[in-house]
Amino acid sequence: MNHFIDISTTDAADLRHMIDHARAMKDARAGRTKGAPDDEQPLAGRMVALIFEKPSTRTRVSFDVGVRQMGGQSMVLSGADMQLGHGETIADTARVLSRYVDLIMIRTFDPSVLQEMSDAASVPVINGLTDASHPCQIMADVMTFEEHRGPIAGKKVVWTGDGNNVCSSFLHAAGQFGFDLTFTGPSQLDPNADDVAFARSKGANILIERDPMAAVAGADLVVADTWVSMHDAQSARERRHNMLRPYQVDARLMAGANDDALFMHCLPAHRGEEVTSEVMDGPQSVIFDEAENRLHAQKAVMRWCLGV
């Protein structure tokens, strides 16, 4: 049984297999090769529980569609529906769900909820996002880069803004896929030190550069994310905007990267804040390919978890 908890806790060879499998399924579905790998309906007769303590658009739709495309059925549950961790322990909930479903995906706040769920479940558990990491997103991002520019190994990725949970998973991927990452942002929002240490332990060159123009020099990929969470108070939003304004990705910043550098954003984006519309809609942006690839990457993750 394979849980997909984090990129850092998954074998690098398995990660590579998932990326390659995702690309094969996408190509086949688009008619570029014969015999789509999901035509055999590998999830036929399987039930997948999709649990959301956090609101979601892309994660909910992409997992739901992916399960259906592979012949399975999905059950979407909210934290309010389940009272997760209130009245019944998370471990007991995991044990009960394991009697009903074949796979659990959970999108939650506290990573300890994910860990307790996976420790107690007797079916595979997938991390759909926590406050600490977002591995499914970065699997899609690696897939997207390689579609456009070939192997990501040895390339330079620049993360600009807040060293948040998505940044943490990018650091994990740097170590597992063999690329370098430069973080540029205010010191108050530096990435998690343990995640930096993990990437460096795997041989990735991880730099912190306060000057965004210096950071993007030689970049093959520039990545941004939202500056504020939907749960932040207005006063916190204003403070973060003031800190992060120098790190907005605009045409000038992209011009400082390599001529063929790509731009990514996991969405939803606040146009005119962390990135300008000129960049989002420009020729270097692959944000909608990136969004689509959540579907294909997660299908590969689910198949790996279930061994089908």
Q: Choose, from 58, 240, 265, 294, the residue flagged as catalytic.
A: 294
Instruction: Check if 69 is active-site.
Output: no
Q: Choose, from 136, 167, 266, 305, the residue flagged as catalytic.
A: 266
Instruction: Check if 68 is active-site.
Output: no
Coil, strand, or helix at residue 14?
Answer: helix
Q: Choose, from 69, 137, 176, 284, the residue flagged as catalytic.
A: 137
Instruction: Check if 137 is active-site.
Output: yes
Tell me how far CA of residue 141 lies from CA of 110, 169, 180, in angstroms.
Answer: 23, 11, 15
Q: Choose, from 64, 141, 195, 225, the residue flagged as catalytic.
A: 225
Instruction: Check if 107 is active-site.
Output: yes
Query: Which residues does 71 contact at the CB level (< 8 Å), separation at least 6?
Result: 38, 41, 42, 43, 44, 45, 46
- Crossing angle between the packed helical segments 135-149 and 287-306, to the nearest 10 degrees: 120
Q: Choose, from 107, 172, 240, 303, the residue flagged as catalytic.
A: 107
CA distance 300 to 97: 22
Q: CB of 273 within 8 A of CB of 246?
A: no
Instruction: Check if 41 is active-site.
Output: no
Residues in a beta bridge with 126: 4, 105
Q: Choose, from 3, 46, 58, 134, the residue flagged as catalytic.
A: 134
Instruction: Check if 102 is active-site.
Output: no
CA distance 203 to 265: 25
Question: Which residues are catalytically annotated?
Answer: 107, 134, 137, 225, 266, 294
